[in-house]
Structure 1
Amino acid sequence: MNFDSSIYDGFGVTQEDVDAYVYLDIGLYGVDITRISSYLLVQLASAWKHRTLNTYSITDVIQSLEGVRQRARPPKAKPFKGVALSGLWKVHFVNPRFFVRNVYNEWGMFHENTQKFVALCARVAEAERQEPLPLGWQGQLAHEYVIGGYENRARKGKLTGEWLIFGIHEGKNIYLTLCQHSSGPEEDEEIQQALRGLCGSEFPELFSAIAQQGA
């Protein structure tokens, strides 16, 4: 595999690292590597080498979408709705590094007025008033906030992570990149331009088809 050297920038890997990852990692078993972008392979090889992400949480999604393996809860792929990324698809992957984010999401900690957290505190305070715990209310609050919050999120099937972005051309998935969630149209446009720059020459038919859809 011969990649454009610029796609290695900032990832701390070489072509030899990428080749080793592709050869050794069982997470890519049964997957057509030619439909995975060189950039995504660099992202995966970097996570594999530096252990910044559990790559199986990503390749498990790919294998499921490809029909290589079955999951108890299949990944839910959705098309992008915004104009900039129209024609592309996204699917979440969940990783232990997103644990805190999921807990925050469950209690609405990114909102200025989080009524769910207020209600949790009131519930723990009332339980403590009725039957004080030997070691105090702090442990109960921490347990319900962290463990209970994550379990609630998982039970509802709302665990979040980051995006695996892919396109579909001639009925086959073409996997492009891992990406953080965007916060609006401006970031969507930035993602679209980056994808064209990083993957456009590798999959020209896909991006040509997407451009025609948006015309």
Structure 2
Amino acid sequence: MEHDVRCSTTSYIRENLDLHLMTGRYSTVLVQELAEMFERRSGNMFALLDEIAALEGAPSARPSLTKPPTMFVRPPLTGLWHKHYNQASFLHQNVWNHWRANDFAVHAAKKIGQAAIPDDKLVGALIHEFVIGGYRERSGSRRLTGQWIVYARRDDVNTYLTLGTHGDDAAIRRRVLACANEFPELDLDGRGPAR
């Protein structure tokens, strides 16, 4: 029974991935990670699919509000690419990143000074401006952060390999190597394409 549920979930994941791809491909590792995310309800799979659709230039793609894709330049992920995807659990990090780069006190004084806010509502207004205002400004500049979709690019085709988090390079590399047999032409293990 558990095997049937897992097969049903992976089929559902594959169908959703296929809907968002134009030329790209995806690994079995990624399908398994998304199936686990979906079954455990540990993340928003659809936010991730939106980012893949945006990377693919799919007609149904929503505009990405996250940072642009970037190539890894340091080992052990050199040559691979990553794209952020955002979820509610990253709200605090995005708000923190925004105000670390901007002076909240100056911003709050200006915003709050422009509105006639009663003293008993001032703390709530400041909290609202800190959280909602910070998030709104960061997303409006398309600089949201989050976790990563890790992929390889070859001949303008993306191959989506695995998910990743900041500081987890060794584990990401192990999962990428698990994809090497599936995509030998990408030389993910550094031994050259299969002949």
- TM-score under structure 1 length normalisation: 0.70
What is the CA-CA distance between 1:171 and the residue it aligns to? 4.0
| Structure 1 residue aligned with 2:11 | 23
Number of positions where the alignment pairs a residue of Structure 1 with one of Structure 2: 186
Asked if 1:58 is matched to 2:45, the reply is no
CA contact (8 A) 1:79 1:88 kept: yes
Q: Distance in 1 between matches of 2:156 and 2:4?
A: 32
Asked if 1:195 is matched to 2:176, the reply is yes
Give the counterpart of 1:159 among 132, 141, 144.
144
Q: Distance in 2 between matches of 1:133 and 1:161?
A: 36
| Structure 1 residue aligned with 2:133 | 148
Question: What residue ranges of structure 1 are gaps of 5+ in the alignment?
Answer: 1-13, 109-113
Asked if 1:204 is matched to 2:191, the reply is no
Cα-Cα RMSD: 3.3
1:1-215 correspondence to structure 2 within 5 Å: 16-25=4-13, 27-30=16-19, 31=21, 35-71=25-61, 73=63, 76-108=68-100, 116-120=103-107, 123=109, 127=113, 133-182=118-167, 188-189=169-170, 191-196=172-177, 198-208=178-188
What is the CA-CA distance between 1:23 and the residue it aligns to? 2.8
CA contact (8 A) 1:166 1:177 kept: yes
What is the CA-CA distance between 1:27 and the residue it aligns to? 2.7
One-letter amino acid of the structure 1 residue matched with residue 185 of structure 2: E
Q: Please list the CA deviations of residues 141-172 of structure 1 after superposition, one character each: whole Å capped at 9, or x if unmatched.
A: 11111111111111111111111000123542
Q: Say which SS state the counterpart of residue 82 (structure 2) adopts.
A: strand
Q: Distance in 2 between matches of 1:211 and 1:156?
A: 41
Q: Distance in 2 between matches of 1:61 and 1:86?
A: 22
Distance 1:106 1:19, change over 3 A: same
CA contact (8 A) 2:85 2:147 kept: yes
Q: Distance in 2 between matches of 1:107 and 1:91?
A: 22
Q: Distance in 1 between matches of 2:171 and 2:39?
A: 28
Q: Distance in 1 between matches of 2:60 and 2:44?
A: 19
Q: Please list the CA deviations of residues 61-85 of structure 1 after superposition, one character each: whole Å capped at 9, or x if unmatched.
A: 2233334334353573222222432
| Structure 2 residue aligned with 1:3 | none
Question: What residue ranges of structure 2 are gaps of 5+ in the alignment?
Answer: none
Q: Please list the CA deviations of residues 154-211 of structure 1 after superposition, one character each: whole Å capped at 9, or x if unmatched.
A: 11111111110001235422111111123xxxx5455324422x22232232135866
What is the CA-CA distance between 1:120 and the residue it aligns to? 4.8
One-letter amino acid of the structure 1 residue matched with residue 49 of structure 2: T
One-letter amino acid of the structure 1 residue matched with residue 182 of structure 2: E
Percent identical pairs in the alignment equals 29
| Structure 2 residue aligned with 1:6 | none
- TM-score under structure 2 length normalisation: 0.76
Q: Distance in 2 between matches of 1:193 and 1:22?
A: 21
One-letter amino acid of the structure 2 residue matched with residue 64 of structure 1: A
